[in-house]
Amino acid sequence: MERKNVLIADADLQRQRDFETKIKAIHESRSAAPKAMVDTFGCQQNVADSQHIMGMLEAMGCTFTDRAEDADIIVLNTCAIRDHAEKRVFGNLGALTHTKKANPEQIICLCGCMAQRPEVAEKVRKSYRHVDLVFGPQALWKFPQLLYQVYTRRGRVFSIDDEHGQVAEGLPVVREGNIRAWVSIMYGCNNFCSYCIVPYVRGRERSREPEKILAEVRELAEAGYKEITLLGQNVNSYGKDLDRDYDFADLLAAIDEIEGDYLIRFMSSQPKDATYKLFDTMARCKHVAKQLHLPVQSGCDRVLRAMNRPYDRAKYLELITYARKVMPELVLTSDVIIGFPGETEEEAMETVDLVKEVRFDALFTFIFSPRPGTPAAKMDDPVPRSEKQVWFDRLCDAQNEISAQLHAAYVGKTLRCLVDGETDDSRWPLSARTAGGRLVHLVGDKSAIGTYHDVTITDSNTWALFGEMN
Ligand code: SF4
């Protein structure tokens, strides 16, 4: 798609604002302001999308509730990354038949990655007739228009065209609190890893204009946000579709010029697009957290090829060796899939071996979950789940041992941490995050929430650190 067609025209965006106004008028003609419930499943990108859905609902005159029985409008923003996530959503949809029976005017919407899957939309069309609106991630910016159709046509609306995807600027947003903010810098993915459903439900890669991102980050920094996370399915390929030579490292360097007491994080990264330039820029930028989430997925080259991950074990090790050289304090995390179709025990143990060699600070571990519509779902998969579980447990044992050792090394150190909330544990009433993103259970005064503080680490376990504010 030509760049000029990727950006949605201001006139089309304004039409959506007009639909919000029309719906607000409908709502105002009723006795009470409508309540909306937005339920989010899955990744940070979905959290960011839900904040825009809430922004649009707020512009329609809605207030918010987390009780389905009290809601006039319910939006389930779904995830398709694993079978388990989809089963949960169908369970929730089933439960909503009761709230709809109690309030026939209730409007139920299904959106997000799961809704974009044609077979899911068909199942909802046939078997979940209480669902009024189904739309995919690429249609999110048109939510006001789609909801207006539901109101005026008094019929069900489905919007799940398989489209390239565009970029909508200036959507209303309701952020959670004033400490952390999510800023999408790009959407979609062109990588087609053989197990992944994302490219089929989130469209092709498309970057926002750098100036728009810089303006949003500047606004957040001036508003006092302490942590800003840049989001994309693969942030490392940011800028490839721009009409100029401008990549992710250039964006980070430009953001770093913005004054303020804030930290920048980013996710997710694909090793194939990770560069020395990026690591040098991270090392040089004072606002960029020395934290990197770099999913390796497997330690076996044959399995990486079968996953369509265009790097090998040696390349991955070369990348993180350089990253650790220029950022010795780097906190490194990753994702690993065990039990990929055709993987042998020996190959799975190559992944365990890589984990022992790299010594990640933390690891997100998964047993392969076939996603209908992906190449991997059609591959021979002879190994029983019970055997994969044994490999998975060995992987987790190895990583837990490493995490415990790396956490123990923090004891006695003083770290600058962002105090971000209260806990219900009277011994450790506060929670915080180190610059590297490690969780700290904290003793201190809750007036510190939302600020950076020096914290002395007094204890640790596999999952977290413990400390007291200085
Ligand atoms: S890079 Fe990530 S989002 Fe893209 S296809 Fe691969 S796993 Fe999926």
* 198-254 confidence digits (pLDDT tens): 999 999 999 999 999 999 999 999 999 999 999 999 999 999 999 999 999 999 999
Cα of 242 to ligand 1 centre, how many Å?
Answer: 20
Cα of 176 to ligand 1 centre, how many Å?
Answer: 27
- Cβ atoms of 204 and 190 closer than 8 Å: yes
Ligand 1 atom having least distance to the Cα of 199: 5
Tell which residue, 400, 318, 311, 416, has the closest CA to residue 355. Answer: 400
Q: To test the ligand 1 pocket, which listed residue (234, 237, 267, 307) has its Cβ within 8 A of the most ligand atoms?
A: 234
Mean pLDDT along residues 85-112: 95
Q: To test the ligand 1 pocket, which listed residue (189, 269, 366) has its Cβ within 8 A of the most ligand atoms?
A: 189
Give 379's pLDDT tier (boundaries 50, 70, 90).
very high
Give 161's pLDDT tier (boundaries 50, 70, 90).
confident
Residue nearest to atom 2 of ligand 1 (CA): 233
Q: To test the ligand 1 pocket, which listed residue (186, 195, 198, 293) has its Cβ within 8 A of the most ligand atoms?
A: 198
Q: Tell me, what's the pLDDT at 1?
A: 75
Q: Tell me, what's the pLDDT at 81?
A: 86
Q: Tell me, what's the pLDDT at 26?
A: 94
Supply 234's token pair.
């693969």
- Cβ < 6 A, ligand 1 pocket: 189, 191-193, 196, 198-199, 233-234, 270
* 71-86 confidence digits (pLDDT tens): 999 999 999 988 888 9
β partners of residue 338: 367
On the question of pLDDT at 309 being above 90, the answer is yes
Query: Which amino acid, one-letter code, is at 267?
Result: M
Out of 61-65, 161-165, 166-170, 396-400, least confident range? 161-165
* 409-455 confidence digits (pLDDT tens): 999 999 999 999 999 999 999 999 999 999 999 999 999 999 999 99
Counting every residue written for the chain, the total comes to 470
Ligand 1 atom having least distance to the Cα of 234: 1
β partners of residue 109: 75, 133
- Cβ atoms of 228 and 252 closer than 8 Å: no
* 44-61 confidence digits (pLDDT tens): 999 999 999 999 999 999
Cα of 422 to ligand 1 centre, how many Å?
Answer: 34
On the question of pLDDT at 153 being above 90, the answer is no
* Percentage with pLDDT > 70 across the chain: 100
Cα of 189 to ligand 1 centre, how many Å?
Answer: 6
* 250-271 confidence digits (pLDDT tens): 999 999 999 999 999 999 999 9
> Torsion over CA of 319, 320, 324 and 329, rounded to 10 degrees?
140
Average pLDDT of the chain, as a whole number? 96
In angstroms, the CA 185 to CA 229 distance is 10
Ligand 1 atom having least distance to the Cα of 297: 7
Give 163's pLDDT tier (boundaries 50, 70, 90).
confident
Out of 27-31, 251-255, 297-301, 455-459, least confident range? 27-31
In angstroms, the CA 116 to CA 74 distance is 18
Residue nearest to atom 6 of ligand 1 (CA): 193
* 284-298 confidence digits (pLDDT tens): 999 999 999 999 999
Rg of the chain's alpha carbons, rounded to an integer?
23
* 324-333 confidence digits (pLDDT tens): 999 999 999 9
Q: Tell me, what's the pLDDT at 173?
A: 98
Q: Tell me, what's the pLDDT at 83?
A: 82
Q: Tell me, what's the pLDDT at 82?
A: 81
β partners of residue 439: 433
Q: Tell me, what's the pLDDT at 411?
A: 98
Residue nearest to atom 8 of ligand 1 (CA): 196
Tell which residue, 288, 216, 292, has the closest CA to residue 250. Answer: 288
On the question of pLDDT at 180 being above 90, the answer is yes
In angstroms, the CA 125 to CA 131 distance is 8
Cα of 193 to ligand 1 centre, how many Å?
Answer: 6
Give 458's pLDDT tier (boundaries 50, 70, 90).
very high
